[in-house]
Amino acid sequence: MGVYIFPINQELDLQDTKSKVNARGLTVMKGKDYREGKTKIYNEKDEIIGDSAIFVDPELEFTIDDILDTWSFGNGITKGTILLKDDRKIKCGWMVIDHANINAANGMLTALRNIFKGRPE
């Protein structure tokens, strides 16, 4: 899977966001049989099933290395708070997409950022 973390508009509507992401041809992952850690993807038995691919938007002013090593991302589109190693709490949104969509998502980062920030695409 691919995880994309963006700054958000606090009034972000998750269902509307998911619809806009899906309309761009990206498959938002769902299900509870895996979790994505900082470096690996694990199944429900906590077995490694792949490597993580995580993008942190530069507007957030932190990198993947700043995220706690024990942090994991579930599925779908989420808005919440990520706790960093230096105890900062960052409000942001993230989406978990199918690994096959990573190249496509990388080609539309500005549009995705705008979706999460509630701006026109």
52-81 pLDDT per residue, tens: 889 999 999 999 999 998 888 877 899 999
Segments of the chain scoring below 70 in pLDDT: none
Token pair recorded at residue 99: 């690994």
CA–CA dist 17, 23 (Å, integer): 10
pLDDT reported for residue 109: 95
pLDDT reported for residue 38: 84
